[in-house]
Amino acid sequence: MKQFDVPPFYRSSLIGEIKNKRKLEDPRKKDFTPTQVQVGDLTFYIARHFGFCYGVENAIEKSYKAIKDHPEKRIFLLSQMIHNPDVNEDLESHGLKFLQDTYGKQLIPFDELTSDDIVIIPAFGTTVEIENLLKEKGIEIDTYNTTCPFVEKVWNRSAKLSETSHTIIIHGKANHEETRATFSHSSQNAPSLIIKDIHEAKILGEIISGKRKMEEFHSLFKGKYTKDFHPETDLMKIGVVNQTTMLATETQEITDFLRKVMIEVHGESTIKEHMADTRDTLCYATNDNQSATYGLLDESIDLSIVVGGYNSSNTTHLVELLDAKFNTYYIRNEQEIIDHNQIYSYDIHNKKRSLKPNFLPAKKKINIAITSGASCPDKLVDDVIHKIIKLKNLDSNSLKIIL
């Protein structure tokens, strides 16, 4: 595995030690039981896999390299490099500026760009339209294009599906940068449709099976399909790909459901002519982090903490998994922990951050599950662990790691 040149202040000696030992003992990533870090009567159950993935480390490395190599040039980020405010704020502190926000709203007009400027394409990728616009301005986009290779894998799979006349069904959030980019790329050669979840998949299934009128398609999926999409013919042959940060189990559930619908409509003997096998588009890092979170659910836990940016899709899904069983707090960093009684936590349902009282239980022995999203630096997880150790008046020098 490639070693990236990521700024040292993103690293953690504690987390680094744990991850290095894990790599040696479980190189094939078959074991998803958590690591235990014990300090007195306090035990942290740390997810087997979490934090920076390949695509994120690659994006960060290229961004800081641009800063180092071109101190005399203006450097722009097309949008947030990754969905972590601490990382983005640090990049901004080095003079980088965002051209758009995460929803595609223009912050700095493209007209202000010149061929001398550097524009960094984020890990989520970008649309074909924006790529062409930058090229027309004479801006070289390859050197600092940090599109995750797993996102590009989805694009390549979509291109292959178009060659066999499949319509592309994208499991993703329509306003997310990655899904907007994937939709743009897939729609170059094939009819494409975005569906958010299994609920929308079931609606689509009812249209395919004739339980809903075809005429309903355009209103039910307004703004989520390509121009001149004809459901009568374009839903005869489909393939499902995904926004790589979605729940892998949900993507599989959607695929399995639509396959069942296609069998009901066309018969099992011809299913291969109507439904493509697209299991190879799931991101390994998303899978590993989610599988490791399931590993936390098997433990006896008093509360769980998820660290990451509040607009991070993959982090939100980790919160979903843990919140189904444990009292879960979604925090940006250790500063959200006020004292042993109070913590600021983000609610993924009402999209609000609020102060929560009595987050640490009034008992002697406490077990805390902890993980983070793929865009969260290890240092932030380390800070959270040590903040809680300090609040409990424990000695971090007595810390014991149990793999």
Block residue for tokens 């996102």: 151
β-pairing, 192-195 with 328-331?
A: unpaired
Report CA dihedral (392, 396, 402, 403) to the nearest 10 degrees: 110
Which of 355, 349, 346, 363 lies closest to 302 in space, CA to CA? Answer: 363
Tokens of 302: 């008093």
Catalytic annotation, pick one of 178, 206, 215, 334? 178
Which of 245, 248, 244, 292 lies closest to 18 in space, CA to CA? Answer: 292
Tokens of 207: 């249209």
Tokens of 197: 């979840």
Q: Please provide the distance, in angstroms rounded to a whole number, between the alpha carbons at the two ends of the chain.
A: 22
Nearest-5° Cα angle at 17, 13 to 19: 120
Which of 92, 27, 60, 35 lies closest to 295 in space, CA to CA? Answer: 35
Residues 6+ apart with CB under 8 A from 187: 168, 226
Reported in sequence order, the residue ranges of 237-351 that DSSP labels E, i.e. its strands, are 238-242, 303-307, 328-331, 342-347
Separation in Å, CA 175 to CA 171, 219, 319:
12, 18, 20
Bridge-partner residues for 194, per DSSP? 170
Block residue for tokens 């355009």: 218
From CA 372, how far away is CA 382, in angstroms rounded?
Answer: 11
Classify 332 as helix, strand or coil. Answer: coil
Block residue for tokens 């394409």: 121
Which of 242, 327, 319, 250 lies closest to 283 in space, CA to CA? Answer: 242
From CA 215, how far away is CA 147, in angstroms rounded?
Answer: 37
> Is 89 an annotated catalytic residue?
no
Reported in sequence order, the residue ranges of 140-183 that DSSP labels E, i.e. its strands, are 167-171
Residues with active-site annotation: 178
